[in-house]
């Protein structure tokens, strides 16, 4: 049983790695084309071959599926300078181990942490979002984009807060 699980994890990682190599090839081709265009900026560009968009194709075989308890959170009203944390909990409802590759905040004021180990089928994990409201008065709407070996690859988590500006002896600061 354990050997099958390890084999499934290895196959999943290899399948994900192949997709990353394809993406790397596309990025390299676009960078080469950009360099070519930048090299000709003194003269006219005679023709530009449009790059066909490659539609995302759902991978075949058993896949993990990520199901969050909620994808939205409201911190309510907080005071500027306050740091708040929310933990989004999820379950792997798919048919293969779930691996979170990245959880990236929409700005420097969000710091994410997540379950790093593969989550087995039926297992649970978390994505933690921290919001530092220092220098961020008024209504704030932020996101954390979770990239995993699921279909689709990305899930967007949202949170909001009403940040009351700091009050000093001279009144609210700007």
For 100-148, the pLDDT digits (tens) are 999 999 987 787 899 999 999 999 999 999 999 999 999 999 999 999 9
In this structure, are 141 and 92 located in the same domain? yes
User: Taking a C-beta distance cutoff of 8 angstroms, is the pair 66, 150 a contact?
Assistant: yes
Higher pLDDT, residue 144 or 4: 144
| Digit-coded pLDDT (tens) for 55-99 | 678 888 899 999 999 999 999 999 999 999 999 999 999 999 999
Q: Select the more confidently predicted residue: 95 or 9.
A: 95
- At residue 109, the pLDDT reads 79
Please state the φ and ψ torsions of residue 6, each to the nearest 5 degrees. Answer: -65, -40
Measure the CA dihedral 94/96/101/104, to 10°: 10
Number of structural domains found in the chain: 2
* In-domain check, residue 173: no
pLDDT score recorded for residue 38: 60
Cα distance between residue 80 and residue 171, in whole Å: 14
Choose between 9 and 108: higher pLDDT.
108
Residue 41 belongs to a domain? yes
159 - beta bridge partners? Answer: 73, 142
Residues 32 and 94 in one domain: no
Residues 28 and 75 in one domain: no
Residue 137 lies in domain: 66-168
CATH code of 102's domain: 2.60.40.10
pLDDT at 125: 98
Query: Within a domain: residue 60?
Result: no
Question: How many alpha carbons lie under 13 Å from residue 85 in its C-beta half-sphere?
Answer: 9
Q: Please write the tens of the pLDDT for every residue from 148-165.
A: 999 999 999 999 999 999
């Amino acid at each position: 049983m354990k050997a099958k699980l390890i084999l499934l994890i290895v196959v999943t990682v290899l399948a994900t790695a192949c997709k990353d190599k394809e993406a790397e090839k596309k990025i390299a081709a676009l960078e080469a084309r950009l360099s070519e265009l930048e090299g000709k900026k003194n003269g006219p560009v005679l023709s530009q071959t449009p790059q066909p968009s490659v539609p995302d194709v759902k991978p075949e075989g058993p896949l993990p599926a990520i199901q969050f308890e909620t994808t939205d959170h409201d911190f309510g009203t907080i005071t500027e300078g306050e740091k708040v944390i929310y933990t989004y909990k999820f379950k792997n409802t798919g048919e293969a181990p779930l691996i979170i590759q990245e959880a990236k905040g929409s700005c420097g004021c969000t710091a994410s942490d997540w379950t790093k180990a593969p989550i087995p089928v039926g297992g649970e994990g978390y994505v933690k979002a921290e919001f530092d409201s220092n220098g961020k008065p008024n209504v704030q709407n932020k996101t954390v984009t979770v990239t995993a070996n699921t279909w689709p690859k990305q899930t967007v988590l949202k949170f909001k807060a009403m940040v009351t500006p700091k009050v000093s002896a001279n009144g609210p600061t700007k």
